[in-house]
Structure 1
């Protein structure tokens, strides 16, 4: 059976291909044969609209989901933070790889004076926008779309003061410049810095192969963060950050929900014994909803309908 070739589906951006090749190498090292098939996703094609306006979660994963369901590819590799919390019927999470850097970073033009005055920052993420405006209410945030290479280029060609990126993405393809600062006050996207591989539920061969790549600590932490997201969102995009980390035998969780303008912020921080991980994200989200989060989510949903 080892002579079956596992067809790995991926987007065709440099970062997506890096991720696919990383999974390919790990599978090859275990003796599996593989090939990589790259496809363009709608998220890569439609660059003139902010992501949340396109109105579908999973804009980057949809094309690959269809390719898997059609049997054109066997498995797909994603940045886990791009994957909707509910996978399509018949598709399952088969492996979460060991997590990289979870931080967001600000790539700037070498002069940070604007942090004390007026500035313009670029990001396509509602979460980053809300957190930035919460800390720097007099700044302007502009939309920035495209893969990391495109975004870096747009920053270069612009008069913006800086743009926010996930550190992991830039580190993976050696694009992280020297002129950046770690935004350690910004709560990352749920599952930021983690890669996930999905397979068809009925595909025993691929699921077994991928099981050998799974990192249990990362799987647990990202499960908590995505459960928090799923409980809060209910299918709507909102500025939500979440991070779970192991601290010896405990898990430290930080979660946050913002209004889109960043003015309202509801946060939670909890440390629980490791064995209580299964419902941690759910309970923390419930606490946020009871603490004003339900009203805030309603407001956010109304904003999107406008």
Structure 2
């Protein structure tokens, strides 16, 4: 080729090293080469792709593990160079004693490093490591409380930056195609493709192709906590793959050995193996966790409940109200009690925490809510009457109570509409604080558009840290009534269950 071949690359030291490596290879083949350094604030791969598509450069050089598994239309893989060191390396300060200790601080640059390290060392603390290699190494040196940081061995080695105090992490499975360099060009540029084909390393192409196919079949990308490594020995191909949760608590591993002639089957077999063992739900949760929440539940949601949301809902949750059960004095229930109000399930739990059901000699039991009624009748005894709200129950008792006093097992809330109504009508209320309420609200993100409330108390807790500018999705009419005091948009579930609130949320995001 008589004209000069233009190589597009980034201005970073590692990118320039890679571009120059390709330049030297092509010059040895007798070609004239010019390196074109391009600047970018955002996605650099896209900048190089655009430069190719607009014929500003002839080829682009990338680290293969940073390239999308699906190339843009019109752009093809022209060559994969012989793979360098694929391992991850741990650069440590002072000594390696922290590896056997409970507490240590490790700096990492990606979710795969984070997940695999926490899976092996769950008590260690992980901090984020950003910037180019020189900046990252300087941060490690400057932060005296850090014990070590994880890097790509190939990147450190290519720039001659690997410190003495470092070890290869042989147990850590690398990123798919780590250590390899790819050359891309336009699909229609047959002359360039033919030239680059002379640089292609077939074994590396096969191995990285399997790893990237595995990544693609799991719907992963370079930011996913997925590791993959393939190597060829004689006539056999060996593959190791792993998918982890971001916190390292869950891990799905797969290993496969095939004849070289059957290497095309490895990626699909291994991806199916991972998916069948929970990989799909794990990847779905990873994808959802990377998006900003638009719904917040003021009560912690179970895994099964989270799966009920449709794809447009990203929900976070925590307990905005925490309950601690009190010690109830034995003399409170020593003698039979004619009239008892058991406020809710927390009162039931407190009573049974202190006494056996046989010790609870209650003649007439009253409560609020059908679920509380079922719980009482299952664990303590029959309920004489139930109402939907405390106010309705108080009004019923004013008319129909048998006697002039009642024992009320409740929480430590200062606001008590039921006691007030009964006292105003000359009914003596013997309040027993069965449990204590602690408000424990979190400040929700601005991205949150709606909040799930599970009781009036969760509303009061929420408002201590947040404004009432969201949609209030409420578990029932009592909670909705409380929400209407502050919120403009209040919606009540058809049934007093978490699942029914989720249905209400899904309707809003269909």
TM-score norm. by structure 2 comes to: 0.56
Three-state SS of the structure 2 residue aligned to 1:150 is helix
Give me the CA root mean square deviation.
Answer: 1.3
Displacement after TM superposition at 1:234 (Å):
5.3
Displacement after TM superposition at 1:41 (Å):
3.2
Indicate the residue corresponding to 2:129 in structure 1: 144
Displacement after TM superposition at 1:235 (Å):
5.9
Q: Measure, in 1, the Cα distance between the counterparts of 2:122 and 2:221.
A: 28
Q: 1:98 aligns with which of 65, 68, 82?
A: 82
Q: How many residue pairs align between the two structures?
A: 290
Q: Measure, in 2, the Cα distance between the counterparts of 1:205 and 1:4.
A: 11
Indicate the residue corresponding to 2:60 in structure 1: 76
Q: Measure, in 2, the Cα distance between the counterparts of 1:104 and 1:236.
A: 15
Are the equivalent residues in 1 in contact too, given 2:110–2:223 (CA < 8 A)?
no
Indicate the residue corresponding to 2:249 in structure 1: 263
Are the equivalent residues in 1 in contact too, given 2:4–2:34 (CA < 8 A)?
yes
Displacement after TM superposition at 1:282 (Å):
2.0
| CA deviation vs aligned residue, 1:83-137 (integer Å, no higher than 9, x gap) | 0101111110000000011100001113212212211111121011000000110
Q: Which runs of 5+ in 1 are unaligned?
A: 44-58
Q: Measure, in 2, the Cα distance between the counterparts of 1:158 and 1:65.
A: 37
TM-score norm. by structure 1 comes to: 0.92
Displacement after TM superposition at 1:161 (Å):
1.0
Are the equivalent residues in 2 in contact too, given 1:107–1:179 (CA < 8 A)?
yes
Q: Which deviates further from its counterpart, 19-28 or 138-147?
A: 138-147
Q: Measure, in 2, the Cα distance between the counterparts of 1:106 and 1:236.
A: 20
Indicate the residue corresponding to 1:214 in structure 2: 200
Q: Measure, in 2, the Cα distance between the counterparts of 1:162 and 1:235.
A: 26
| CA deviation vs aligned residue, 1:231-251 (integer Å, no higher than 9, x gap) | 002569420000000122100
Indicate the residue corresponding to 1:121 in structure 2: 106
Three-state SS of the structure 2 residue aligned to 1:233 is coil
CA distance change for structure 1 residues 60 and 115 in 2, over 3 Å: closer, same or farther?
farther
Indicate the residue corresponding to 2:163 in structure 1: 177
Three-state SS of the structure 1 residue aligned to 2:84 is coil
Q: 1:201 aligns with which of 176, 187, 190?
A: 187
CA distance change for structure 1 residues 20 and 235 in 2, over 3 Å: closer, same or farther?
closer
**Correspondences of 1:5-44 after superposition (within 5 Å):** 5-42=4-41
Q: Measure, in 2, the Cα distance between the counterparts of 1:19 and 1:236.
A: 19
Q: Measure, in 1, the Cα distance between the counterparts of 2:222 and 2:201.
A: 29
Q: Measure, in 2, the Cα distance between the counterparts of 1:153 and 1:3.
A: 44
Are the equivalent residues in 1 in contact too, given 2:108–2:126 (CA < 8 A)?
yes
Are the equivalent residues in 2 in contact too, given 1:102–1:166 (CA < 8 A)?
yes
Q: Which deviates further from its counterpart, 267-276 or 139-148?
A: 139-148
Q: Which deviates further from its counterpart, 138-147 or 210-219?
A: 138-147
| CA deviation vs aligned residue, 1:137-171 (integer Å, no higher than 9, x gap) | 01111111122122112211223111101111111
The alignment status of 1:155 with 2:140, answered yes or no, reads: yes
Are the equivalent residues in 2 in contact too, given 1:60–1:82 (CA < 8 A)?
no
Three-state SS of the structure 2 residue aligned to 1:77 is strand
Give runs of ≥4 in structure 1 deviating > 6 Å.
none
Three-state SS of the structure 2 residue aligned to 1:277 is helix
Q: Measure, in 1, the Cα distance between the counterparts of 2:180 and 2:232.
A: 15
